[in-house]
Chain A
Amino acid sequence: MAAIELDSSERERYGRQLLCLGEEGQSRLKDAHIVIAGAGGLGSPIAIYLAVAGVGRLTLLDRDTVERTNLNRQILHGDADLGRPKVESGVEALRALNPSIRIEGIRVTITDENAASLIGDADGVVDAMDNYPTRFVLNRVAHERGIPLFHGAIRGFHGQATTCVPGRGPCLACLFPNVPPKEVFPVVGVTPGVIGCIQATEVIKYLTGEGDLLTGRLLLWDGLACSAEEIAVEPRTGCPVCS
């Protein structure tokens, strides 16, 4: 018996995925709270697909306003949103897609000091950031809370994704001990589309218990070759976060 009942409207809305997830899987999505850190290129497809999938509570974190240079990839936002906080236009777009879930946006710079309270009692954190220092903050807090970090990053036609589940595999700091140099990264919008969809898929799998997660595996996407390869990754002895 599912923990949370679905109403008739939800059974209709999610009818096609009930065929995959069943009523129990769908009710697990409805019962979940996911924090999406970043409402940009990755955060857009992640938030859209988690919203329409029926994740019951989404928290969108971002500090920026919408700029024209964002619009080749950040599909939560459009021309009419230029100058608006991304969390404002993002939440508006998501509510239009699925008014039956709870969506909140917080305009904030994620720091060491505020990350734990921003993540709160969430069931998972999706890394849709554009820099490693903030990713490492999210990684540490997610590990402390015992919740997964769904990592993704992109550059040009290339992307990477992995899912860090405490106690079940390496964390982000096991894999990436040092920060790459800052740059204005090149990107074609489809790349965060691909990687963001992989991250959203991981979230849905984690919450419903379906399939095999990208735990202990780094997926590397090459859009130019249209190939996805993976590297097995072990927890690192002496990792300052998880060992």
Chain B
Amino acid sequence: MNVTIRLFAQFRERFGPVHELALPEGERLAEVLHELAGQTPDGVAALFAPNGRLLDYVIVMQGAARIEHDHAATLELRDGDTIAVFPPVAGG
């Protein structure tokens, strides 16, 4: 299946803007993000806490729906999914 991961703000500078991935069926969201993050020095720490959970403030969207982090570990991706990952920027 084909899945698109789009990254924004400082995650874009760290991981690149978009990754088009060909994945086996049944891949889970958190695993895919962990593997993608691991391709960059310190990338895992930018997205995940030491306990392996996504950092609280990281926003992950599947289409227009925000994914609760408790759900990310078990959520199976679907062919054609677009996943957006970004940190809310805070400055004014």
Q: Which residues of A contact B (CB under 8 A)?
A: 38, 40-43, 127-132, 152-156, 158-160, 174-183, 185, 187, 192, 216, 220, 222, 224-225, 229, 231-234, 236
Q: Within residues 54 to 78 of chain B, which ones have a CB less than 8 A from any CB in chain A?
A: 56-57, 59, 61, 63-66
Contact A158 B9 (CB under 8 A): yes
A-B contact pairs, 15 of them (CB 8 A): A43-B92, A152-B92, A153-B92, A155-B10, A160-B9, A176-B57, A176-B88, A179-B57, A181-B57, A182-B90, A222-B17, A229-B6, A229-B8, A231-B64, A234-B66
Residues of B within 8 A of A41 (CB): 91-92
Q: Which residues of B contact A (CB under 8 A)?
A: 6, 8-10, 12-13, 17, 56-57, 59, 61, 63-66, 84, 86-92
Residues of A within 8 A of B9 (CB): 155-156, 158, 160, 220, 222
Contact A231 B84 (CB under 8 A): yes
B6 to chain A minimum Cβ distance, whole angstroms, is 8
Residues of B within 8 A of A185 (CB): 89-91
A142 to chain B minimum Cβ distance, whole angstroms, is 16
Contact A220 B56 (CB under 8 A): no
Residues of A within 8 A of B17 (CB): 222, 225
Residues of A within 8 A of B10 (CB): 155-156, 158
Contact B91 A153 (CB under 8 A): yes
B55 to chain A minimum Cβ distance, whole angstroms, is 9
Q: A155-B9, A156-B10 are in contact. Are A187 and B91 (CB under 8 A)?
A: yes
The 9 closest A-B pairs by CB, nearest first: A185-B91, A232-B64, A130-B92, A155-B89, A180-B57, A178-B56, A158-B9, A42-B92, A178-B57
Cα A236 to Cα B66 in complex, Å, equals: 8
* Closest chain A residue to B84, Cβ basis: A231
Contact B66 A174 (CB under 8 A): yes
Residues of B within 8 A of A183 (CB): 90
Q: A180-B87, A222-B17 are in contact. List 17 more A-B contacts (CB 8 A).
A: A42-B92, A129-B92, A130-B90, A130-B91, A130-B92, A131-B90, A152-B92, A153-B88, A153-B89, A154-B89, A158-B8, A179-B57, A183-B90, A185-B89, A220-B8, A220-B86, A233-B66
